[in-house]
Amino acid sequence: MPLFEYQCKSCSKEFELLVRGSETPACPACRSTELEKRLSVFAAHGGGSSREMSAPGPCGACGDPRGPGACSIN
């Protein structure tokens, strides 16, 4: 079930809608079916596992490789 972004040609409202099967989408504001599909902005991640985490960088105060706050310097 894809999620699409639309702009209504009647009232100019922009909205997202989950479209099931052969349903005809309608504007939630004015119920018009004269809609224009919009380009969606989507999130993507780079290669590798989604569970992969990067190690913190060295502490800026002392250079401790365990990361900021790992040393006893205040």
Closest by CA to 4, choosing from 13, 20, 16, 21, is 16
Whether the model pTM is above 0.85: no
Rounded CA-CA distance 10/29 in Å is 10
Query: In terms of residue numbers, what domain contains 28?
Result: 3-37
Is residue 29 one of the residues assigned to a domain?
yes
Average pLDDT per consecutive 10 residues, the chain (74 residues; last block may be shorter):
85 90 91 89 57 58 67 60
Domain count, the chain: 1
Q: Does residue 7 form part of some domain? A: yes
Q: What is the pLDDT of residue 71?
A: 67
Exposed e or buried b per residue across 4-24, where buried means at least 16 C-beta atoms within 10 angstroms of its C-beta: eebebeeeeeeeebeeeeeee
